[in-house]
Structure 1
Amino acid sequence: MQSTSSNCIFCKIIEGLIPADIIVQNEHAIVIKDIFPKAPIHYLIIPKLHVADVAHLNANQYEIGTQLFCLAQQVGSSLPNKQDFRLIINNGANAGQSVFHLHMHFLSGMPHTGLTDVEL
């Protein structure tokens, strides 16, 4: 699995070639504001290693999931009034994935009313 992809918008953001509103980052992942938010707080948690989706992770890359959840916890703990939040991963085109670089949606600031009320 290559570390970056030359035609991937998330890889370009990670490399600093495309600007983004960065919330936090570490050596493994970055958190940015979604440019088309579906909630008052809508972030994308993106591993720095280019992997298309969960199905393409190999056994040596499972730690990526842990890193994404660690950043989600860090971001969640910084929310005012300890707001609740949702984490969503769309895996594959039929599941709604539009950028084929594994990422997790972090949404907060609105009540959840059902499984299909927000299309990501």
Structure 2
Amino acid sequence: MNARDNCIFCKIVAGQLPSRKVYEDDDMVAFHDIHPKAPVHLLVVPKSHVDSLADCGAGEGEVLARMLLKVPELARAAGCTNGFRTVINTGPEGGQVIYHLHLHVLGGPRHEWKGTLP
């Protein structure tokens, strides 16, 4: 068994675990974070497993670009009309907890954001 067999995001991508999806295409899936830190807290995850941004190479460039370009559309659809924050945690000192590259999209009134941000 390899690390990807136990990857929670790989299991969500494969439909083995439930999620509240807001978007899916051939390359990525976006869903609500189960531990939101803001009124809007989405995760955008590539379907192909790569541990972190530090592990990306030229082969991931296209999907990374597509993910970033999709974020404003997802944020608007979720009601973020006055802006949003996009975060990629990378490695243990960067706050990464799940080792499958993912983008956090956070929005909503700042006074409603909770605790430490991702």
TM-score (norm 1): 0.86
CA 1:81–1:39 in 2, change beyond 3 Å: closer, same or farther? closer
- Which whole-Å CA distance do the structure 1 matches of 2:80 and 2:6 have between them? 39
- Structure 2 unaligned residues grouped into runs of 5+: none
* Mapping 1:11-26, distance limit 5 Å: 11-26=10-25
- Which whole-Å CA distance do the structure 2 matches of 1:81 and 1:98 have between them? 25
CA-to-aligned-CA distance 1:77-113 (integer Å, 9 cap, x gap): 324372310000000011110000000000000228x
* Mapping 1:16-95, distance limit 5 Å: 16-80=15-79, 82-95=81-94
- Matched length: 113
CA 1:92–1:105 in 2, change beyond 3 Å: closer, same or farther? same
CA-to-aligned-CA distance 1:41-94 (integer Å, 9 cap, x gap): 001010111000111112121112112112202212324372310000000011
Matched, 1:5 2:4: yes
Q: Contact 1:50 / 1:101 at 8 angstroms: preserved in 2?
A: yes
Q: CA RMSD in A?
A: 1.8
Identity %: 34
CA 1:61–1:81 in 2, change beyond 3 Å: closer, same or farther? closer
Flag as ranges the 4+ runs of structure 1 deviating above 4 A.
Answer: none
CA 1:81–1:13 in 2, change beyond 3 Å: closer, same or farther? closer
Q: Which residue of 1 is the match for residue 116 of structure 2?
A: 118
- Structure 1 unaligned residues grouped into runs of 5+: none
